[in-house]
Amino acid sequence: MNRTKSSSKTHSAKLPALSISLVILTIFFIQACESDSSTIHSQIAQSIENTESVEPMRLDGQWLLEPYGDVMLNPQTSGLKYHNGKLYSLSDASADRSQIKRLHEIDMDSAKITQKFGPSSVHERVQNSCFYDYLQNAPDYEALVPVHDNLASANAQSTWVFVTEDASRVAPLSPACQTKFAATGSTLYPTLLVRMEVNGASLELTHVRAVQFPTKKNLGNNSFVEVGDFPNDGIEGLALTRDGKLLLGLEKDAAGQPRVFSINMNEDFWLQDGFAVAKDTELLLPKFESGNHPINGMDVYYPDDESRGYLLAAARNDNELWVIDLAKEKATKRIKLAFTAPSRFADNPDSRCEARYLMNNASIEGLAVANGSIWMVNDPWKINYMKNVQCEADAATFEKMAPLIFQMPVASLGL
């Protein structure tokens, strides 16, 4: 070994100066490549790292209030978006009957419902569609987004797109409609995009499109469903990009993974009656070996005019906010969150309630970006919501399945 070292030193001493320079440059190049590789692997690992060791960011909630001042009665808030100085939410099919098929306008300062639009009516052009019975009776709306629409009537205040999820509780489509809309790529009863117009206090459903998800081919050249037939684990998030792409957040696919799809909404989108074809965005989402890790509420955020933007998604089961690079260059950043609820009886010394306490289960299902903040609203999960009760005086509030709204500064994303 000593001879090897000695021989090496002697050999190095006889190398020409040019060779020495080449050796140094080669070593530098290898180190640089290793550094780049390390960075790439680090970015990939970031999207799948265990975030349990990271201290969560605490978000303090406010109870959503009805116009008369009490907390909302079981609205099952399943979407949130910003439009013209207000936040808006909707309810899914499991909400109290007084809340379904309505658009709820929320004051951002007081967290109070300032107006309710609807219940929605159905335009005559939709009454002859395959989906009229479902949309008229018990649509399971899960997300919403405001749009600029040249089809809007002259007196329309705003135009919206809602998306449906579970239709397993309604009558099946007619044989003719089943044939026409058989190739959903997902559930037997297709996911629906509906167009809504707000006129005064009314909410009118004017158009509907069924969504078709992509399928893949196996080695036998037979198509198989990539998304999977999960009626209550479907699309839970909508967002609209600057260039007019509608992004759809899927809770889980056939492999149990969350996914994001996109649909181009061109000028004649609502004038067609066939499938609206969804494409895989191939965004760099985290991959999971087991468990359920759905994404729910979504919105887009652009740090500046040159940015290609980020998709912000609430991962409900993981209590996380995912920052997803729309340019597909950076791995998804996962921010751990902790949610607190205020006691409505903290000022009453007999109740012995603390002013605020950590929630056991929040279940965020709506997200909106506005005024330098990320706003989130929860959809009370009925089998888990009473686990949040830590003071008996607050039990009635949770029994009403009252939701909360949370605010997080955009600057905390570190973008």
151 pLDDT band (50/70/90 cuts)? confident
Count Cβ neighbours within 10 Å for each residue of 368-378 and write b for 16 or more, e otherwise.
bbbeebbbbbb
Tell whether the torsion through CA atoms of 87, 88, 92 and 96 is positive or negative.
positive
DSSP 352-411: T--SEEE-S---EEEEEEETTEEEEEE---TTTGGGG--SGGGHHHHHTT--EEEEEEGG
Q: Whole-number mean pLDDT of the chain?
A: 87
CA-only gyration radius of the chain, Å: 26
CATH class of the 58-413 domain in this structure = mainly beta
pLDDT digits (tens, 9 = 90+) for 122-143: 999 999 999 999 999 989 999 9
Give ∠ CA 116-163-360 in degrees, rounded to 5. 75
Asked whether the beta carbons of 333 and 411 are under 8 A apart, the reply is no
Contacts of 226 (CB under 8 A, 6+ apart): 185, 213, 214, 215, 216, 253, 254
Asked whether the beta carbons of 154 and 192 are under 8 A apart, the reply is no
Number of neighbouring beta carbons within 10 Å of residue 75: 29
Average pLDDT of span 212-237 = 80
Give ∠ CA 36-21-2 in degrees, rounded to 5. 95
pLDDT digits (tens, 9 = 90+) for 340-387: 999 999 888 777 899 999 999 999 999 999 999 999 999 999 999 999
From the list 367, 394, 386, the residue with the least C-alpha distance to 143 is: 367
pLDDT at 220: 55
pLDDT at 30: 43
pLDDT at 47: 44
pLDDT at 41: 38
pLDDT digits (tens, 9 = 90+) for 243-252: 999 999 999 9
Number of neighbouring beta carbons within 10 Å of residue 16: 8
One-letter amino acid of 224:
F
Number of neighbouring beta carbons within 10 Å of residue 124: 8
Tokens of 63: 């109870």
pLDDT at 35: 42
pLDDT at 350: 77
In sequence order, the β-bridge partners of residue 296 are none
pLDDT at 155: 81
Q: Which of 8-12, 19-23, 176-180 has the highest mean pLDDT?
A: 176-180
pLDDT digits (tens, 9 = 90+) for 25-62: 444 444 444 444 343 334 434 444 444 457 999 999 99
Task: Name the percent of the chain lying above pLDDT 70.
Answer: 85
Give ∠ CA 247-164-73 in degrees, rounded to 5. 110
CA 367 – CA 326 distance, rounded (Å): 17
169 pLDDT band (50/70/90 cuts)? confident
Average pLDDT of span 287-294 = 94
Task: Name the percent of the chain lying above pLDDT 90.
Answer: 76
Q: Is the pLDDT of residue 79 over 90?
A: yes
Rounded to a whole number of angstroms, the distance between the first and last alpha carbons of the chain is: 53
Asked whether the beta carbons of 274 and 292 are under 8 A apart, the reply is no
pLDDT at 347: 84
